[in-house]
A and B are shown apart, each in its own frame.
Chain A
């Protein structure tokens, strides 16, 4: 198989004026969709899918793919500016992104996230181009035992972000786990905490909770602490530093973060169903353990923003592998792409790439172009977005409430979820006020059901034996990597920081 001739063929298909127009439209729409809280890539794709009916499949798939990763670029913007993650994959980007904005470094933060997204996305496509068949094997070695271990690994990374009091952090995570059990039990079909309500059959969706806890919670907290009356009355209180461009130091200090984030994100993204959320969390906690200054994380450390951003974009590229090589959608977004393939009468599966080389390689080629286009759009759009943090809270506050409410509503057109978002906002304020961890709650809500379902599936499959976790090669790998992360990284980190301290002492 000659990769380069395939890729050139793909490029020659992708680079036609009309296809480039579709790509550009898709990228812009994706950015807009991503910026609106609630409207993640999957909701955006589902809603815009009907637009592509009647289009030529290659142009249509290029546009849909552009919407998909365009939304990944746009999704972080609100995480940084108003502390509101639009989807679970950008929760980790709020940890250091919003503190950076508060420090007056919103411009550099946004540029760095665009660069990080570009690096993650591009490394992801390069890996797809050269290693798709190999990673296809990774995709097909994951079953319930591996998912359980992976979810546990994700939950363990919560330790890193639990904050000052472990007790309150664990309580936050438990609330998330409890909310995650609402809905029809997957195994028995029994309703849990549904109380006969049809609205609750499907469980509690994390988007309204995340938007409420982070977006509204932060807003109420800002008013409570009087930020709207102090300083400039806006997010940036004392604008010491107002440089728009990142410094050379920002790039130098995060170059290895980008490499690690890309590879880690891609590998996790390849696993169907694990995806960008777990990838971004793992990247964040890995960087923190490796950092010479772990204490700076959560207070506006550039590496703490770059790590999850490279990882979630690399993961969204990685999620293309099971889609293209097995016909299995690894995420809600790729499920919509799969539906599109099927609507065009294509048959996704292992033979897809060899049966439809123009479409598959056209798509891959368009991903290279799309990432470049999006980096360019981001650089142009960022100066506009940065203005948001200068708007005084007394005007920004009501506007954020509107965006959060309408964004939540648009996802499932549900009033119940919109009210849930408001309730989560109030709870989020108290959680922040009393030192709980909203991040732990949201992530436990995402990972808890995955862990519970996978454990119970595993127990059915193994007929109650735990030995299954050490009998499967993939499980052993995960256990090994987890131990490595838990034991070796902190040691490495400690040695690193000791070295740094000696240097400082010496100098």
Chain B
């Protein structure tokens, strides 16, 4: 997994440096540090260090393979599963927010998330899923005049 994350980082770093070298100039017209000065330095440093970290990661993995070494209690599988559930639920919430706005999507999301993460306790879940959005709405919209995400589709209530 670590190597995958590092590869993704390397991709980002290479792209960042590519743009820095193609689009942005190192010096400005007067010969002082220009728009590309920082990005080029940062980009190159990032590429070098990520590559170095990848070498380390590969070496560690070989060491881990020979020693049968396991790090962290989450690697047992169920940890990944639960984290993935929460991430998926969060992403669903992100999509819901755009469509139904802050209030309605919070009710849907909390109802959904709690029934997955806290199964069986229906009354408790229903109470949290209704009371929290109301409190948040009163706090943001009524008390603080702050913006809640507006709905793309207006629901009849």
Interface residues of A (CB under 8 A from B): 29, 32-33, 36, 39, 44, 47-48, 50-51, 167-168, 170-171, 174-175, 177-178, 181, 185, 187-188, 190, 192-193, 216, 219-221, 223-226, 228-229, 392, 394-395, 397-399, 401-403, 405-406, 409-410, 413, 415, 418-419, 422, 425-426, 429-430, 433-434, 448, 452, 455-456, 459-460, 464
Find out whether the CB atom of B97 lies under 8 angstroms from the CB atom of A223. Answer: no
Contact of B98 among A415, A426, A460 (CB under 8 A): A415
- The distance from the CB of B112 to the nearest CB of chain A, in whole angstroms, is 9
Find out whether the CB atom of A223 lies under 8 angstroms from the CB atom of B83. Answer: yes
Bound-complex Cα distance A448 to B94 (A):
29
**B contact residues around A455 at 8 Å (CB):** 33
Find out whether the CB atom of B33 lies under 8 angstroms from the CB atom of A459. Answer: yes
Given known contacts A174-B46, A193-B19, A226-B74, is B113 in contact with A398 (CB within 8 Å)? yes
Find out whether the CB atom of B5 lies under 8 angstroms from the CB atom of A409. Answer: no
Given known contacts A29-B144, A415-B98, is B32 in contact with A460 (CB within 8 Å)? yes
A-B contact pairs, 18 of them (CB 8 A): A167-B52, A187-B28, A190-B24, A226-B73, A226-B79, A228-B82, A394-B114, A398-B117, A401-B93, A402-B93, A406-B106, A413-B147, A418-B149, A422-B91, A434-B2, A434-B5, A434-B6, A464-B30
Find out whether the CB atom of B53 lies under 8 angstroms from the CB atom of A167. Answer: yes
Given known contacts A223-B83, A394-B117, A395-B128, is B38 in contact with A181 (CB within 8 Å)? yes
Find out whether the CB atom of B37 lies under 8 angstroms from the CB atom of A216. Answer: no
Contact of A188 among B6, B35, B78, B139 (CB under 8 A): B35
- Asked if B126 lies at the interface with its beta carbon under 8 angstroms from chain A, I say no
Bound-complex Cα distance A440 to B43 (A):
17
Find out whether the CB atom of B140 lies under 8 angstroms from the CB atom of A406. Answer: yes
**B contact residues around A433 at 8 Å (CB):** 1, 72, 74
- The distance from the CB of A449 to the nearest CB of chain B, in whole angstroms, is 9
Given known contacts A48-B144, A224-B80, A422-B94, is B32 in contact with A415 (CB within 8 Å)? no
Bound-complex Cα distance A50 to B31 (A):
47
Contact of B39 among A50, A181, A188 (CB under 8 A): A181
Find out whether the CB atom of B56 lies under 8 angstroms from the CB atom of A192. Answer: no
Bound-complex Cα distance A177 to B144 (A):
34
**A contact residues around B31 at 8 Å (CB):** 464
- In chain B, positions 121-148 with a C-beta closer than 8 Å to chain A are 124, 128, 132-133, 136, 139-140, 143-148
Contact of B79 among A225, A394, A402 (CB under 8 A): A225
Find out whether the CB atom of B82 lies under 8 angstroms from the CB atom of A402. Answer: no
- In chain B, positions 83-113 with a C-beta closer than 8 Å to chain A are 83, 85-87, 89-91, 93-94, 97-98, 102, 106, 109-110, 113
Find out whether the CB atom of B56 lies under 8 angstroms from the CB atom of A167. Answer: yes
Question: For the complex, would chain B's binding face be called helix, strand, loop or mixed by DSSP majority?
Answer: helix
Find out whether the CB atom of A181 lies under 8 angstroms from the CB atom of B42. Answer: yes
Contact of A171 among B46, B83, B113 (CB under 8 A): B46
Interface hub of A33, A168, A402 (most chain B Cβ within 10 A): A402
- Asked if B34 lies at the interface with its beta carbon under 8 angstroms from chain A, I say yes
**A contact residues around B151 at 8 Å (CB):** none
- In chain B, positions 44-61 with a C-beta closer than 8 Å to chain A are 45-46, 49-50, 52-53, 56
**A contact residues around B86 at 8 Å (CB):** 219-220, 223, 397, 401
**A contact residues around B39 at 8 Å (CB):** 178, 181, 192
